[in-house]
Copies of this chain bind each other. A is one copy, B any other.
Amino acid sequence: MKAQMIQQTTIPQNPAHPAFRRREPAPRAIRSTAFIPLRPEEEGHRQRFGEHVHLFRQGDDATRIYELIDGEVMLYKLLPDGRRQVVELIGPGDVFGISAIPIYECSAETLRAGHAVVHDRAVVERSPDLFRLLSARLQAQFCAMHEHAVLLGRKSALERVASFIMKCVPGRGGYGCPGPGGGDNTINVRLGMTRQEIADYLGLTIETVSRAFSELRRRGIVTIDRQEQVLVNNICRVCKLTGAH
């Protein structure tokens, strides 16, 4: 059983929609199943995980801080009526499980198998070195979240999808991008997320995401093989469509 089943069926995004009133409240206090006892004296405990596993859920006691080594994790929040927003995509090196309150304010679900170093929250807060190490990484994540706020608040559907594709292209589109002429202009990227997950990340519906991909295909900018596999024929053209250049 896939973990994001809650959102599997199409849920109307529009809160004025009558379907919302009929929905069950989102599961808030479900305890994570992937619980492994942590020895506080350790400088972090290694944890392996598979695909589509919850590491913790919105409402769980926020006792651990994770440092992703390998794989991919998404952090999402649910509204009581079932609307979901993926608030952060976590890649190798990123830190997650940070919370300002004693419980997690979002859920963490793995997108791809991998492993993480798990730190006891109390230990992190007592160890300046560890704290510093983890915090350094948060800075980059901070900027990524700012960028994502722009996407969610101000970009059109096509721009959002183009931005998402660019996120999958390493070293391009951001600071230090060689620009047109610099580097290869073609790449094969694996999205690693379903259309529904992408939609929940981009603040769109699954249909709109699908239409955007189709539009890019129609324009000859990308070629889509196995749904998760996108061949970008012209990186710079995608980059221009992001609205950021």
A132 touches B128 (CB 8 A): yes
A149 touches B149 (CB 8 A): yes
Out of B79, B154, B245, name the residue touching A154 (CB < 8 Å).
Answer: B79
In the complex with contacts A135-B131, A135-B132, A138-B138, A146-B75 CB distance below 8 A: yes
CB of A101 to closest CB in B, whole Å: 4
Asked if B155 contacts A152 (CB within 8 A), the reply is no
Q: How many angstroms between the C-alpha atoms of A65 and B154 in the bound complex? A: 27
Q: Is the CB of A146 within 8 A of B106?
A: yes
Nearest chain-B residue to A140 (Cβ)?
Answer: B100
Q: Chain B: which residue is nearest A174 at the CB level?
A: B101
Q: Is A150 a contact partner of B85 (Cβ separation < 8 A)?
A: yes
Residue from B88, B100, B103, B243 within 8 A of A139 (CB atoms): B100
What are some 13 contacts across the A-B interface (CB < 8 A)? A15-B243, A77-B149, A79-B243, A80-B245, A83-B243, A85-B149, A85-B153, A87-B146, A98-B143, A99-B139, A141-B142, A142-B145, A152-B203
Q: Which 10 A-B pairs have the closest CB atoms?
A: A153-B203, A135-B135, A152-B152, A100-B140, A87-B146, A85-B153, A101-B175, A85-B150, A87-B149, A83-B154
